[in-house]
Structures are given as C-alpha cells and as structure tokens.
Structure 1
Amino acid sequence: MNDHSSLPAAGPVPVLRLGDVLLVTLQGDLYDNTAQRLQQDLSETIAASRVTGVVIDISGVEIVDSFLGRVLAEIAAQASLLAAQTVVAGMRPAVAITLVELGLTLPGLRTALNTEAAMDLLTRPAPTPRSGGNRQESP
C-alpha cells in the first residue's frame, strides 16, 4: 500500500502544554520529516514558553528502532540545553528489551511507567550529577 496520505504519523505530532510541562504523545511510526518537525516545534515551544519539562508518551509505539532512539536522545539533549528535563513515559517491556539489544542508552532521558508518574518526576526536584563531588539527598 503506497498511499502516504493515509499514514497517521504523516502530520504534525500534537504538543500539549500542562502547566510547566509539554506533553507529546507518539502514535505509530515516526518518519524523518515528522521527527525533524517535532524536534524543531519542541525547541521553539520550550524557548518561547519557558517550560521546565517534556513528557514523551511512547505507549502507542510498538517498535523503537535506532532512528527513534536517536530522535528521543536528540530531543532530550535540545531540551536540556534549553533548561528543560525530558521523561519518556509508557515504554513497553519489548521496547526496553529492544533498546538494550541495540545498545541505546538514551543519555539525558529519564523514564516513567506512565504519564502520571512522568509528571510526578518532573514536579519534584531531581539530583543533578555534577563532576567534582557527590550531592546528598535528604530523605
């Protein structure tokens, strides 16, 4: 089937703002042009709105390949440079296994079982590893 007009991921990926957090829900495959547009939209939105976090819900994604892994890592890196944290939510066990098998560590990304847990992660302070010393967290 070569009818690209019926592909669900062909249009823009919706980005919702919930307070200081942007919520992105990925459904199905993410293609090159859609991924580039998402990265640009997120960067512009983070810079313009000064949000502090990004939640990427991938519960609707069946397969994560090296392309999507790289896109997620690049989004996290861009968000971090703009002072926002990124959390990936809803990763299926098969997806986690695939990421490990591909050797993708996804630096800069934190994970949560679902969107609610991701929002909780972003609203509480997180330890920031710094070179030159360890930071103690109070209980």
Structure 2
Amino acid sequence: MNRLCVQRPRTWEDFLAERDEDNHAEWVDGQVILMSLASSDHQLLKVFPVRVLEHYLERHPQGLILDVPFLMRLPTRPSGREPDILFIAQECVGLLQPSFLDGAADLVVEIISPESDERDRGEKFIELFWAF
C-alpha cells in the first residue's frame, strides 16, 4: 500500500541524493511518497505495451522507451513521478538525465491498480496535463 511519509520537506536534489534503487518512491511537493511493489498482474500487463512500442521503434527509430524505476520530473506541481512506461521522442532525448527525465515524456503509460486508481487517474493525470 502506498503511504505518505511524514517528514521534513525535501528538495529535488535531496530526494535524488537519498534515493535508493531498491525502493520505489516519488517526490511530490517536497514530500517523498514510498510506492508499493508492483503485483505480478501489474507486471504482466506492462509487458505487452512495452513489447509493442519496442517492436515499433526497432523499425522506426524515433525515440526510446523507459520503464520503472525511472523518474519523470514535472515543474508544474513540482513532482518527480515514476510512470510505468515512458516514450521519449528523439527530439526530446536532450531532457534525459542519468536518473530522471527533466520534463514530460511524449507518451506516458500507467497501469491502473485498484489501490492507485485515484492517484493515477487524478493527481498524476492533472500534473501531466498541465505540463503541456
């Protein structure tokens, strides 16, 4: 289950410095939100769109695909989210940093789980909508 850790506000730089590859976390309004591990159903659902996109890009190299754990930093809230799948068009590859995408991806895919429905269809959708 996802939970908000009560803590002192963290800067984006603090969050990146403290981030651990073994823990999935997002950064929203200076707070670190620990994310639960994905279920097997979630992982199996993610495989199909990743394979379709990779297959397409093999024939039409127009960008790249990344999946979790990889952060997408949006200035609108501000937030650093971990979408399930990100497509970055070739002309936007310059936004790619070693551990995050500094801006909105050209395509974001979220696998909706019952426990993440409100966050994924609400907060995350609105943040990405206002990023454009």
Interval containing the TM-score (normalised by the shorter chain) = under 0.3
| Structure with greater strand percent | 2
TM-score (norm 1): 0.24
Please tell me whether Structure 1 or Structure 2 has the larger radius of gyration of its CA atoms.
1
* TM-score normalised to structure 2 length: 0.25
